[in-house]
Amino acid sequence: MIDVLAIVGPTASGKTALSLELAKYFDGEIINGDSMQVYRGLSIGTAKIKPEEMKGVPHHLLDIKDPDESFSVAEYQSLVREKIEEINARGKLPIIVGGTGLYVQAVLFDYRFAEQQVDEKLRSALYEELKLHGPQHMHGKLLQLDPEADIHPNNTRRVIRAIEIAMSGQQKTERNRALEPLYNEVIVGLDIPRKLLYERINQRVDLMMEEGLLEEVKTLRNQGIHSAQSMQAIGYRELQAYLEGSISLETAVAQLKQNSRKYAKRQFTYFKNKLPIFWIDVTQEMEKNIQEIADFMQENNRTRRIELLMEQKKEREREGGR
């Protein structure tokens, strides 16, 4: 008996459409797995599902935070585990849907959080490196350590802190723990040809602009929301730069598309390196994918999931030896 199903994939890969069909097929309820869809007022830029698109399927953890509030993976972990218990108790299947890989991993595996001690020597060295090489260099260093990190290069304080955490011994310990599953879970990943994905991303950005993304960003700024965590999301930071007069609207939209494509690439890297995933081909018919997932869930067991983890570990070791 599967406790929880997770649907992951890069932005614009079709997670929402698939999740609705799976929810109807398995009598499930959907839990948001996107770090930015928790915020009220951030709807167009996060591609948040509209109420009329939900088809009667219950959705959880959307619009639970004001845009000026902070939100952490530890808080998400706690909230989602409570939701999993509630949904299971109703005899329904919890379905986590989103592209924030760390959030999904933190919920489904024994991912523990501990107080991070500041290493003043490391911090001093990192700030010295920042002075010598600049923000873009430090942002690149962060992405090498944590490919899914979604922090603007100019937010140097957060970039430095994220590097500190990624380089700490404690972080390595937590990652080892994070390989131990807590549920009888299945994680489905949406595989899509890169060229098709990038076309979808570009089309989605154009649609967002038509639907009023710029007005959404203006509304948030008029509420005094400028430098909050939520406004670092892709789409919001680029259009803020336009509204501040530092770039043209054409450049802002081009950067939005480019940053979305780069983020999708980092998402793929995280999913393939960190999670035991059953991949499906999104270019197939929906009915075929539903049946493949149902068959896999029927025969799935913990031994197979551990085998997937070991296969992925060996593949990473082979790639590292090249």
3-state secondary structure of 60: strand
CA gap 169, 198 in Å, rounded: 36
Residue 184 main-chain phi, psi, to 5 deg: -90, 85
**Does residue 12 have a known ligand-binding role?**
yes
Beta strand pairing status for 28-32 and 93-98?
A: parallel
Query: Can you tell me which residue has the tokens 């199903």?
Result: 5
Strand order from edge to edge, sheet including 4-8: 59-60, 28-32, 93-98, 4-8, 185-191, 278-281
235 is in an annotated binding site: no
Which run of H or of E encompasses 109? none
Nearest to 316 by CA among 276, 267, 272: 272
Q: How many residues does the chain have?
A: 322
For residue 189, give both structure tokens: 């990943």
Q: Compute how many other C-beta atoms are within 10 angstroms of the C-beta atom of residue 190.
A: 22
Rounded alpha-carbon distances, angstroms, from residue 115 to 172, 174, 210, 308: 14, 12, 44, 31
Question: Which position has the token pair 């060996």?
Answer: 314
Q: Do residues 200 and 12 make contact, with C-beta atoms less than 8 angstroms apart?
A: yes
Q: What is the DSSP letter of 52?
A: G
Is 251 labelled as part of a ligand binding site? no
The annotation status of 16 as a binding-site residue, yes or no, is yes
Chain-centre distance of CA 90, in angstroms? 27
Sequence-separated (6 or more) residues with CB below 8 Å from residue 269: 147, 148
- Binding residue per annotation — 14? yes
Any known ligand binding at 106?
no
91 is in an annotated binding site: no
Residue 11 annotated in ligand binding: yes
* HSE toward the beta carbon, residue 86, CA cutoff 13 A: 12
Binding residues: 9-16
Binding residues for ATP: 9-16
Binding residues for substrate: 11-16
